[in-house]
C-alpha cells in the first residue's frame, strides 16, 4: 500500500497495487525494489510480448531423440514420427500462445520494467493510456504561455 503520496492524486493502480500512477509520478514497489519516475521525465512506454524460444529448442531436441526410444523396425519408426508430430504441434502451440509480457516506462536515466503476467493486455494498455493522459495533463498545466507575436499583416 502506498502511504507517502502527500499532495499527490492517485490516478490508477495495477498489479496488486505494486504499480501506482499519480498526477506526478509512477511508483513501482516489490519486496526487492522501489522505483519512482516523475511523469515529466518519461520518454518511452512499451508493452512487450516475448515467446520463450527455449520451448522450441526443447521440443526439437525431444523430437530428434525420440526415435532412440522406439523399436528400430518400420512400425517403431512410424510410431516415433507420429509421436514427434504430436509433440511438435503441442510445442508450437505453447510457443505461439504463451508469451511473457513486460510493461516498461523509461526515462533517459532509468526505467521501470515489471512482469505483466498477472495483468491482462487491456489492463496494460489502459495503464499506458492513463499515464499518457496524466503526462499531457501535467504538461498542459505547467506549460509556459505561448509568446504573442506582433505581426503586421499589411505587408
Interval 58-71: pLDDT, tens: 999 998 888 888 88
* Residue 114: count of CB within 10 angstroms of its CB: 21
pLDDT of residue 109: 87
Topology given in CATH for the domain delimited by 10-50+100-139: PH-domain like (2.30.29)
pLDDT of residue 146: 47
* Cα 15 to Cα 150: distance, rounded to the nearest angstrom: 52
* Cα 33 to Cα 28: distance, rounded to the nearest angstrom: 8
* Cα 36 to Cα 23: distance, rounded to the nearest angstrom: 13
CA-based max dimension of the chain: 98
* Cα 93 to Cα 85: distance, rounded to the nearest angstrom: 12
* pLDDT surpassing 80 at residue 84: yes
Kindly list the domain boundaries of the chain, sorted by start residue: 10-50+100-139, 53-97
Q: Which residues pair with 29 in a beta bridge?
A: 34
* Residue 14: count of CB within 10 angstroms of its CB: 20
- Alpha helical stretches, state H, 1-120: 53-65, 74-97
E-strand stretches of the chain: 10-14, 19-22, 25-29, 34-38, 44-51, 99-106, 111-115
* pLDDT surpassing 60 at residue 138: yes
* pLDDT surpassing 90 at residue 52: no
* Cα 20 to Cα 12: distance, rounded to the nearest angstrom: 6
Amino acid at each position: 500500500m502506498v502511504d507517502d503520496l502527500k499532495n499527490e492524486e492517485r490516478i490508477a493502480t495495477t498489479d496488486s497495487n505494486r504499480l501506482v500512477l499519480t498526477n506526478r509520478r509512477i511508483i513501482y514497489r516489490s519486496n526487492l525494489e522501489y522505483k519512482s519516475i516523475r511523469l515529466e521525465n518519461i520518454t518511452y512506454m512499451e508493452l512487450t510480448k516475448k515467446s520463450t524460444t527455449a520451448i522450441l529448442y526443447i521440443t526439437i531436441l525431444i523430437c530428434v531423440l525420440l526415435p532412440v526410444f522406439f523399436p528400430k523396425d518400420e512400425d517403431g519408426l512410424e510410431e516415433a514420427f507420429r509421436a514427434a508430430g504430436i509433440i511438435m504441434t503441442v510445442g508450437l502451440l505453447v510457443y505461439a500462445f504463451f508469451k511473457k509480457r513486460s510493461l516498461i516506462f523509461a526515462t533517459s536515466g532509468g526505467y521501470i520494467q515489471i512482469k505483466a503476467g498477472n495483468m491482462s493486455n487491456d489492463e496494460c494498455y489502459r495503464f499506458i493510456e492513463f499515464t499518457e493522459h496524466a503526462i499531457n495533463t501535467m504538461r498542459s498545466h505547467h506549460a509556459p504561455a505561448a509568446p504573442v507575436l506582433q505581426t503586421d499583416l499589411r505587408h
